[in-house]
Amino acid sequence: MPPIPDTIIPGNRIKQTLHDGGSVIGTMLVEIRQPSVMQLLANAGFDFVLIDTEHGPFNIETVADLSRAARQLGITPIVRIPEITYTAVTQPLDAGAQGIMIPRVTDVHQVREALGMMKYAPIGRRGSVLSRGHTGFKSGPVDSAMNQANEESMLVVQIETAQILERLDEILSVPGIDAALIGPNDLSIALGVPGKMNDQKLVAAIEKSMEACNRHNVVAAIHMNELPLAVEWARRGMRMVSFNSEAGLLMKSGQESVTAIRAMKRQPAENNGS
């Protein structure tokens, strides 16, 4: 019989990279439920994926399949939950997600509630279970599994409301927050400049958020759908950048290809001198 390992919790690759001062790049998963999509994202070089259950169609069985495939391919699966409830927080983690992202944060109590649900005792109150997706269906010492899970799980809070901008220092000072991801679309709406990614109000809010993250040793993160903006904010210090989505990447590449081919077809044939 093989020896029982010291830990049955897989390491969180991006958490280690960020801890070491590195940067990571990911995308959002919004529609494709086939686990093989993770192979495509891994081939493209992505470090993490945001599985969107706030706006996406994914149920917990699909989240389990996607998370397992992602981990096996070296991509860190993070689930954006629709609301802060015990089921919404713990089921994805038990299924194998390595992080939780909470949207629409407005006050510190939401963050503390989420942390209490996603962390095991003595930090939180998450119920203990082994031999599930998060352990690769392995069993082992309960105490070391809980301790390791607390170390490897990530909490990402979203900065996308007017209220959080007023309470950045209070919220980001809560121990246990790993990253704060700016959702610029909702934030632009909250600031009265909907969809204007280069508006000075939005730019100033992003800069303010980055400064607060730096003060509290929280990783500054952002999601952008336009490549030049994603590159620019990475240049300016965002160490965790989420770019577009699997659906957006497919559509953009497809549209560019179709446009180029149709444009060529409309050009007159070259005169070859015959």
Helices 37-44/60-72 angle, 10° precision: 40
How do 154-159 and 99-102 pair as beta strands? parallel
Active site residue 55: yes
On the CB side of 206, how many CA atoms lie within 13 Å of its CA?
A: 28
For residues 14, 17, 19 and 23, what is the CA-based torsion angle, rounded to 10 degrees? Answer: -90
pLDDT tens figures, 39-79: 999 999 999 999 999 999 999 999 999 999 999 999 999 99
**Secondary structure of residue 16 in the 3-state scheme:** helix
The long-range contacts involving 223-230, CB below 8 angstroms and separated by at least 24 positions, are: 223/28, 223/50, 223/181, 223/182, 223/183, 223/184, 224/184, 224/197, 226/197, 229/197, 229/198
Instruction: Give me the pLDDT at residue 266, please.
Output: 77
CA 126 to centroid of chain Cα atoms: 21
What is the C-alpha separation between 13 and 235, in angstroms, rounded? Answer: 22
Helices 86-95/60-72 angle, 10° precision: 40
Instruction: Give me the pLDDT at residue 236, please.
Output: 97
In terms of phi and psi (left: phi > 0; alpha: psi -120 to 50; beta: otherwise), the region of 45 is: left
CATH topology of domain 13-266: TIM Barrel (3.20.20)
pTM over 0.85, yes/no: yes
H or E element that contains 79: strand 76-80
Per-10-residue mean pLDDT of the chain, 274 residues long, equals 65 96 98 98 98 97 98 97 97 97 97 98 94 91 94 97 97 98 98 97 98 98 98 98 98 95 78 51
Sequence-ordered alpha helix ranges (H) in 49-174? 60-72, 86-95, 108-118, 142-152, 162-166, 168-172
Residues 6+ apart with CB under 8 A from 128: 120, 142, 145, 146
Cα dist from 33 to 40, 59, 93, whole Å: 13, 10, 18
Q: Which one of 55, 109, 216, 223 is the catalytic residue?
A: 55
